[in-house]
Amino acid sequence: MRFVRLELAWWLIPALAGLVLARWRMRRQYAASTTVRWLRDSSFRASLLRRLPIAVLFAGLVLTLLALMDPVVKRPEAVVQSRGRDIVMVLDVSMSMQTKIPNLRLASAQKTGAPGNGMTRLDAVKSAMRSFVLLRHDDRIALVLFSNNPYIVCPLTFDYNYLLQYIDMVDQNSIQGEGSTAIGDALVLSDQLLAKQSNSADRRHQLIVLFTDGENNRGSDPVDALTALNAENTHVDVVGINLEKDNAQVQRFLQAVYKDDGHYFDASTAGDMDRASHMIDSLEPGLLINKVYARDWPVYDWFAIPALVCLVATIALRAFPFFVDQT
């Protein structure tokens, strides 16, 4: 055990001094007598038991101070097993994602009917990603950003609040100095991330969800990446926003997605996000092994609760006449 706010220990000395001073000031005085020497005999002294309230109060004060010092203990590393899916969300942050879409209705705003005027494609995709994450349960999800190059922003995690914070922080400045769309390279990096987390040759419980608005214009061919992923039984779904389906390269990519049992969803449609989640639910869950690493665990209640008990006990003891008058 260690104390995070150890500097508060210096308050123990003045607190103890103040308690002793207050106790001394409260002592009762007796009148002078020629027989005062008789009172020095041990038989005339107050029983130590009568000082129990002040001892309990002092113990409560010490325990309170220890609780305020923020005690923590190391939580041991543990291995947690569960049944679920590994999902990598791949987000396109290329220059075209900053394009504003007039009269865009975001997936998260469809229930209220509020239009998303002035929102960019990136805003729409981030809204779709939030909706997607909130629909998941018992799955590990990772986040990869890409433009000219792909980057792992959040590894596979069960902590969805942690993941949503990273999604909220994504903006046009997340990857500076880049603006192209390297879909193939992003899929390759996502595949490597999933491969490191795979516990067996069976990877049917692993999935990549690509959020993008355009065609690949840099790096490796995404169709080749899809072929390699299909050979490993890893699915790829695409969530698009204003995707130019008439574009020959986009058509070729989507055909490869459909051929490998993948799906396409519209990021601006709330119903599509529900449908995407249901599609993922149809994937057979696999065994997920997650390591919980040692970390500081607050244990201030170990001291705060006994301190409260001491305070209550002090008040209760003072209710008995035996403990009231001390000389």
In this prediction, what percent of the chain has a pLDDT beyond 70?
A: 78
Residue 213 has a pLDDT of: 86
pLDDT of res. 202: 66
Query: Which of 15-29, 101-115, 268-282 has the weakest average pLDDT?
Result: 101-115
**pLDDT at position 201:** 62
Choose which CATH entry (3.40.50.720, 3.10.50.40, 3.30.310.160, 3.40.50.410) describes domain 78-291.
3.40.50.410
The reported pLDDT for the residue numbered 325 is 55
Measured in whole angstroms, the distance separating CA 4 from the mean position of its chain's CA atoms is 21
Q: Is the pLDDT of residue 209 over 70?
A: yes
Cα separation values, 31 from 34, 38, 42, Å:
10, 14, 19
| Among 146, 130, 9, residue whose Cα is nearest residue 68 | 9
State the chain's mean pLDDT as an integer.
80
Q: Which of 107, 59, 111, 78 is nearest to 292 (CA)?
A: 78
What is the reported pLDDT for 142?
Answer: 94
Q: Could you read off the pLDDT of 67-126 as tens digits, one per residue?
A: 888 888 876 666 667 788 899 999 999 998 888 877 655 544 444 344 455 688 888 889
- The predicted pLDDT at position 109 comes to 46
pLDDT in tens, 28-78: 555 555 555 555 555 555 566 777 888 888 888 888 888 888 888 876 666
pLDDT digits (tens, 9 = 90+) for 132-156: 898 888 889 999 999 999 999 999 9
pLDDT surpasses 50 at 166: yes
Higher-confidence residue of 277 and 64: namely 64
Q: CA Rg, the chain, in Å?
A: 33
Strand, coil or helix: what is 209? strand
Cα 133 to the center of its chain, rounded Å: 14
- Domains of the chain, by residue range, sit at 2-75+297-323, 78-291
Q: Which among 169, 168, 160, 167 is positioned nearest to 141, based on CA atoms? A: 160
Phi-psi region of 224 (alpha: psi -120 to 50; beta: other; left: phi over 0): alpha
Question: In which band, very low, low, confident or very high, does the pLDDT at 23 lie, cut at 50, 70 and 90?
Answer: low
More confident residue, 204 or 163: 163
Beta strand 264-266 pairing with 235-240 = parallel
